[in-house]
Amino acid sequence: EALAAQGADIAIVVRSSTALAQELADELNSRGGDHFVIQADVSVEADVERMAREVAARWGRVDILVNNAGIIRRADSLDFTEEDWDAVLDTNLKSVFFLCQAFAKAAIAAGRPGKIINIASMLSFQGGIRVPSYTAAKSGLAGVTKLLANEWAARGINVNAIAPGYVETNNTQALRADTVRNADILKRLPAGRGARQEVIAGAAIFPAGPASD
């Protein structure tokens, strides 16, 4: 919504909640622009390739890539399963690299600049508890963002990440419902509360635009 308000046309990629995504696309279209929904699983390479084809067929180019798909699994590390490890790493880290790669290949082949915004986390820098695969993915994402920024800056592609703290989303609902854990978290936050989603959305405007060249 924040990027659309600045004039961007948005391809909304969603794995399952297509009706909700279509409602958002319809709302954005009512305000102007060309916004549409692609149903895809970003952890599946064939879906990533299809996404790229669908966007190319509609617009011919992509200027901004926001890697915001993410899931979380919570359990003590002694009990954590391989299934939960793989699911989070595939969605939160592997998908980001290959989406960045597909975006950059198209931009470099066309000789045009591009902006990539990855959504990291404060757990890119601190361990957290009971989220081993999420912490591993977000720590890896910070490293991959730096690597790609180094490789592609001279080719006109800026790669940055936003690393939020606790934000009021579905991913933090379990924490916020745990009164003891939530109180412990809020004690460490100077504002005494988590962030609202629109604040994080606003942080994406700068790295998406020419001011960040």
Q: Which of 104, 115, 124, 134 is catalytic?
A: 134
Nearest to 204 by CA among 115, 113, 72: 115
- The answer to whether residues 198 and 2 touch, using CB atoms and an 8 Å cutoff, is yes
Nearest to 155 by CA among 112, 116, 118, 117: 112
Q: Which residue in the block uniquely carries the two structure tokens 């009706």?
A: 19
Question: Is-catalytic flag, 166?
Answer: no
As a dihedral over the C-alpha atoms of residue 82, residue 88, residue 89, residue 94, rounded to 10 degrees, the angle is 140
Alpha helices in the chain (DSSP H): 2-5, 18-30, 45-59, 82-89, 95-110, 132-152, 173-177, 179-188, 197-203, 205-208
Task: Name the residue type at position 22.
Answer: Q
Reported residue count of the chain is 213
Nearest to 148 by CA among 205, 198, 98, 210: 98
Where in the sequence numbering do the catalytic residues fall? 134
